[in-house]
Amino acid sequence: MDKKICTYICTGCGIGEALDIEALAAVVTGEMSQECKTHACLCGSEGQAFLKQEKKTEGINTFNICACSPRVMQNEFEMGDDCITVRGNLREQVIWTAGDAEEGQEDTHKEWLQETASDYVRMACTRAAKTEIPEAYEMESMNKEILVMGGGIAGITAAVEAAKAGSKVTIIEKAAVLGGKANGWAKQFPTSFPYAELEESSIASMIAEAESDSNITIKTSTEVARIGGSPGDFKVTLKAAGADSEWDAPAKVGVDEQDLIEKGEMDDPNKGLKPYGEGNVDADTFGAVVLATGWVPADVSEFEHLGYGSNDKVVTNAEFEAMAKNGKLEGINNVAFIMSPGAEEHDEDFPYANSVTSMVALKQAKYVRENNADAKAYILYQHMRTPGNMELFYKGVQQDDGIFMTKATVTGVEGGTVHAKDTLLGEDLDLEVDLVVLAAGMVPTTKEADVINLAYRQGPAFLDLDLFDGYADSHFICFPYETRRTGIYACGGVRKAMNMQEAIDDATGAALKAIQAIESADHGVSVHPRSGDKTYPEFFMQRCTQCKRCTEECPFGALDDDEKGTPLPNPSRCRRCGTCMGACPERIIGFKDYNIDLIASMIKAIEVPEDDDDKLRILIFVCENDAYPALDMAGMRKHKLNHMIRFIPVRCLGSVNMSWIRDALSAGLDGAMLLGCSYGDDYQCHFVKGSEIASTRMENIGDTLSTLGLEPERVRSESVAITDYDKVADLVNDFVDEIVELGANPFKGF
């Protein structure tokens, strides 16, 4: 692209009053050797018309808009696919965070403000000069059919909803019939007002709808043996349910039988039998995958004082449901439903217990009462959870005099006697019952087995599922349904414990995400969180040392490698976070509009004064997902930021290459901070591991700085949530104060 660049400085929103616009324009036309124009309101109708006219008559194809934050007015400053738009944030992170000048410091304050604005203009000019227009990735082959793994409520719903949207769908179910656990329900929760009475199971009608849809193919008694490829081109190998390999298990044929077969007197049971993909059995290509393999009951045998496995009067809630379904509640007149392990050391709920197990206890208590009007049900709980409309169901159950509920600690079960203490009655209880039902939790199938069987370098399962208790969800707040593997979406019991109606809603969302993934792959753009991004990592393989850092650190398995360890990119798997770019010690990975040279050049564009302790410079790399909007919101609230700070937004802290830190400090900047998303037990990094990876890298660079004679305290990695806008200013200002205490960088001036 033959660029024609122009910088446009907006004087609206107080920018013109706070800054010397002529001086800023002089920075652009002088130091940066670019054209510069100003306007009173670039985002207004006149301003937008002015920019369009600039493109038409002046041939401008690279617009450097120095005005408000890049997070706002995106549509207003979109100039078309044939143009580049770069943003310089003079409003939220310059004039709105400058604060008021102290008495007698008005001139100094104005000078500091002008210096800050000038640096942001320099960096924006540099980005405009270095950015290139990306071209969308074109796939060699594309398939738009959706694979749904699991034929229970979630799987059937996902298939039906995707089919309604016009997609072809294949359901793979390892059982001989569809329906999953819903086939074993005696009744289901109420689904309509007043949410008082249990309903007959609707699973039969759901199955019939799926079976009658011409867009849906159903394969029962089948499992997924292997999934390779990427969105738009997943290569899926199937196997017979229970088979040891991905091929059909051949029938055993004896010598006598073989003789009869050869004589034509007996049919060959293995006639036409071939490995999957070689004929009669499918090895299909799909565009996206919906994982709906459900859950299994948790093991409660570890709680020996409750007697499960040794006391024939103790069953799990799943076993009790089967008894009710099969009409085996005769003679069962008094039942205790235990919601918590109890005992002194177990005052919490059973593992994987949740709102569903609470509601199941209420449902099953009604079974007891419906079976026998004189029967009694006792529900002993630590927590009773009935969210949403199920609160009405709970209140209805409360009105039944034959159902007794109390908070209690169960200390033991002996025969048909349940011992409990710390009840709401303020006294201990000894209940004589015919049956004890334990509220076993719902363990996602991804916790216990490699149900997805991925042919990825990173292994057949999702990584780090322990972060989410085994649930296949990589970001449960901002990006529900997504997993750690692009194009594979989870719903139902593998994503979180949920009741029937929740599973239906969840599956609908996952189906829509699968469709979005396919369409995005077809257009050569990313799905999420950088939806619509045309860029993808490009590799200068001639300098690759096969260190494998990029493949090992990629949170999404977007990189495989060949037998020599050379990276093999899968662009349609890529989330465009840039973690591979940050990992590469040779700096050979980059994007058209985000690469090592571009950011390094922006760092060099920052003016570093050499002789004034009041003009130290602290560089902060800011994650665009949580930290940058938190800073913007701090600016909207006029929280003051120290004038020594310079922010550079990054896609993810995982994309920060440590060469930027070393180069910055070598060039005389006095400190550097990484400001990204929180991580830990409630991990919410948009790219899953970016903040954690960056923190590890920063620990290592601290050792490097020590060998150079620089204090490790000059660099730091911090995390914030998007809601920390009232805290983030203090966080970064405190870091500046610590750098001031350390004094100027000794490399300054070299």
Higher pLDDT, 202 or 746: 202
pLDDT for the residue numbered 277: 39
Give the span between the Cα atoms of 370 and 364, in whole angstroms: 10
pLDDT for the residue numbered 246: 45
Specify the length of the chain in residues: 750
- Residue 587's CB is within 10 A of a number of other CB atoms, namely 17
Residue 77 has pLDDT above 80, yes or no: yes
Higher pLDDT, 628 or 426: 628
Percent of the chain with pLDDT over 90: 76
Residue 45 has pLDDT above 80, yes or no: yes
pLDDT for the residue numbered 54: 97
Fold classification of 146-295+445-523 is FAD/NAD(P)-binding domain (3.50.50)
Q: Start-end ranges of CATH 3.50.50.60 in the chain?
A: 146-295+445-523, 300-440
Find the angle CA(544)-CA(545)-CA(547) to the nearest 5 degrees.
115
Q: Start-end ranges of CATH 3.40.50 in the chain?
A: 1-133, 594-750
pLDDT band at 448 (very low <50, low <70, confident <90, very high): confident
Q: Are 12 and 41 in contact (CB under 8 A)?
A: yes
CATH class of 594-750: alpha beta
pLDDT for the residue numbered 740: 95
Find the angle CA(560)-CA(561)-CA(567) to the nearest 5 degrees.
90
Q: Return the minimum-mean-pLDDT range out of 120-134, 488-502, 555-569, 681-695.
A: 681-695
Task: Using alpha carbons, select from 682, 688, 670, 662 the residue that is nearest to residue 739.
Answer: 670
Give the span between the Cα atoms of 580 and 583, in whole angstroms: 5
pLDDT band at 278 (very low <50, low <70, confident <90, very high): very low
Across 436-461, average pLDDT: 88
Give the span between the Cα atoms of 363 and 359, in whole angstroms: 6
Express each pLDDT in 607-645 by its tens digit. 999 877 788 999 999 999 999 999 999 999 999 999 999
Express each pLDDT in 371-382 by its tens digit. 999 999 999 999
Higher pLDDT, 474 or 502: 502
| Phi, psi for 235 (deg, rounded to 5) | -100, 110
Q: Kindly calculate the radius of gyration of the chain based on its CA atoms and give it in whole angstroms.
A: 32
Percent of the chain with pLDDT over 70: 92
Across 97-125, average pLDDT: 94
Q: Start-end ranges of CATH 3.30.70.20 in the chain?
A: 538-590
Across 220-224, average pLDDT: 93
Side chain identity, residue 276: Y
Residue 237 has pLDDT above 80, yes or no: yes
pLDDT for the residue numbered 335: 98
pLDDT for the residue numbered 359: 97
CATH class of 1-133: alpha beta
Residue 273 has pLDDT above 60, yes or no: no
Express each pLDDT in 300-323 by its tens digit. 999 999 999 999 999 999 999 999
CATH class of 538-590: alpha beta
Q: Which helix (H) or strand (E) holds 7?
A: strand 5-10
| Phi, psi for 219 (deg, rounded to 5) | -125, 105
pLDDT for the residue numbered 474: 66
Give the span between the Cα atoms of 108 and 113, in whole angstroms: 9
pLDDT band at 518 (very low <50, low <70, confident <90, very high): very high
- Residue 249's CB is within 10 A of a number of other CB atoms, namely 13
pLDDT for the residue numbered 247: 42
pLDDT for the residue numbered 248: 44
pLDDT band at 484 (very low <50, low <70, confident <90, very high): confident
Beta-carbon contacts of residue 385 (< 8 Å; ≥ 6 apart): 354, 355, 358, 359
Mean pLDDT (the chain, rounded): 90
CATH class of 300-440: alpha beta
Residue 18 has pLDDT above 60, yes or no: yes
pLDDT for the residue numbered 250: 44
Q: Which two tokens stand for residue 464?
A: 């780090």
pLDDT band at 263 (very low <50, low <70, confident <90, very high): low
Residue 479 has pLDDT above 60, yes or no: yes
Higher pLDDT, 687 or 272: 687
Distance of CA 545 to the CA centre of its chain: 31
Residue 523 has pLDDT above 60, yes or no: yes
Task: Using alpha carbons, select from 725, 559, 537, 519 the residue that is nearest to residue 629.
Answer: 725
Give the span between the Cα atoms of 294 and 498, in whole angstroms: 10
Residue 473 has pLDDT above 80, yes or no: no
Q: Give the CA distances from residue 425 to residues 338, 419, 420, 422, in Å, rounded to whole numbers and listed in that order.
A: 17, 14, 11, 8
Express each pLDDT in 318-371 by its tens digit. 999 999 999 999 999 999 999 999 876 666 889 999 999 999 999 999 999 999
Sign of CA pseudo-dihedral 344, 345, 347, 350: negative
Give the span between the Cα atoms of 349 and 357, in whole angstroms: 10
Higher pLDDT, 243 or 540: 540
- Residue 597's CB is within 10 A of a number of other CB atoms, namely 10
pLDDT for the residue numbered 616: 94
Residue 275 has pLDDT above 50, yes or no: no
